[in-house]
């Protein structure tokens, strides 16, 4: 395949799931339903937290910010995919693809950092309940959100700008329903070593560090809970952080599944399924 400089690339072709019109109609209804449920559910969370003074606590503050990031991330990908299916046009402009990569990376980073902040909040509430109100003040919560925004912005800008410097081959058919960084880099004809180094560095920064913090927090939480004298106290403590732990496992499990599978396997279907999840 002959290389093309990025200035000559006008658009990418997103192959999506299938070219069968009947299956596309089912996929359209499925993703539209998922998107509406995602938007409605997260908006209800944000509305409930903002309207009830009893929920103006650090945990619900982080939860509402997580919901906002989830709405934004879904809106970055799903509406464009639904429009493409309806219009029978799977093309996405070059600038649109680079922009989508940057936005997806930004909100992925935000979600990762906010899950870590919620784990820290659980750690303080269970392991240091007497110091909780002194440490977990609004200023600290705002600072954690600000740090997550700055970190995610820096990572998204660097990785998306590095993609824009690549030269691509003529075959620009991406076996996905949105522009995902590892999938796009695979079609580059120029050297991508620096890109992959930056991806691993960003993964360590936006995923490795938060995961390490979450593991440490839950190790301390579990150790403290096991020392509780009553079974009722243990159950209450586990219920406090149980839902967060499930979301953490689900989120990071699929995130690592996307990026690990993109490296160790050529199966685009497995990578796409992990992305959908």
Q: Where are the domains of the chain?
A: 3-276
Higher per-residue confidence, 275 vs 215: 215
pLDDT band at 16 (very low <50, low <70, confident <90, very high): low
The DSSP element (H or E) to which 91 belongs, if any, is strand 91-93
Is residue 37 classed as helix, strand or coil in its secondary structure? helix
pTM for the full predicted model: 0.84
User: Does the pLDDT of residue 4 top 60, yes or no?
Assistant: no
19-55 pLDDT tens trace: 666 777 888 888 899 899 999 999 999 999 999 888 8
Q: How many helices (H) and strands (E) does the chain have?
A: 10, 5
Burial of 128 (0-12, 13-18, 19+ CB in 10 A): middle
pLDDT band at 6 (very low <50, low <70, confident <90, very high): very low
Specify the pLDDT at position 223: 87
pLDDT band at 82 (very low <50, low <70, confident <90, very high): confident
CATH topology of domain 3-276: Rhopdopsin 7-helix transmembrane proteins (1.20.1070)
- Is the separation of the CB atoms in 100 and 240 below 8 Å? no
56-77 pLDDT tens trace: 899 999 999 999 999 998 898 8
Residue 40 to residue 251: CA distance in whole angstroms = 20
pLDDT band at 262 (very low <50, low <70, confident <90, very high): low
């Amino acid at each position: 395949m002959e290389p093309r400089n990025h200035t000559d690339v006008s658009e990418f072709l997103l192959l999506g799931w299938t070219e069968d019109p009947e299956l596309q109609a089912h996929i359209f209804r499925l993703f539209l339903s998922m998107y509406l449920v995602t938007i409605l559910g997260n908006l209800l969370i944000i509305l409930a937290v903002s309207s009830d003074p009893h929920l103006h606590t650090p945990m619900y503050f982080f939860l509402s910010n997580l919901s906002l990031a989830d709405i934004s991330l879904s809106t970055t990908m799903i509406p464009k995919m639904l429009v493409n299916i309806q219009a029978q046009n799977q093309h996405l402009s070059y600038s649109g693809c680079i922009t989508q990569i940057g936005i997806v990376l930004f909100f992925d980073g935000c979600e990762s950092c906010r899950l870590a902040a919620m784990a820290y909040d659980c750690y303080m509430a269970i392991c240091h309940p007497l110091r909780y109100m002194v440490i977990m003040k609004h200023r600290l919560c705002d600072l954690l959100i600000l740090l997550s925004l700055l970190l995610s912005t820096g990572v998204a800008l660097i990785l998306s700008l590095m993609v824009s410097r690549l030269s691509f081959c003529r075959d620009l058919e991406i076996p996905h329903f949105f522009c995902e960084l590892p999938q796009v880099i695979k079609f580059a004809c120029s050297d991508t070593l620096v890109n992959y180094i930056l991806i691993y560095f960003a993964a360590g920064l936006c995923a490795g560090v938060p995961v390490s913090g979450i593991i440490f927090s839950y190790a301390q939480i579990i150790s403290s809970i096991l020392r509780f004298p009553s079974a009722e106290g243990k159950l209450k403590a586990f219920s406090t952080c149980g839902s967060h732990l499930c979301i953490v496992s689900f989120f990071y499990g699929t995130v690592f599944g996307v990026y690990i599978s993109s490296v160790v396997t050529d199966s685009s279907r497995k990578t796409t399924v992990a992305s959908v999840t």
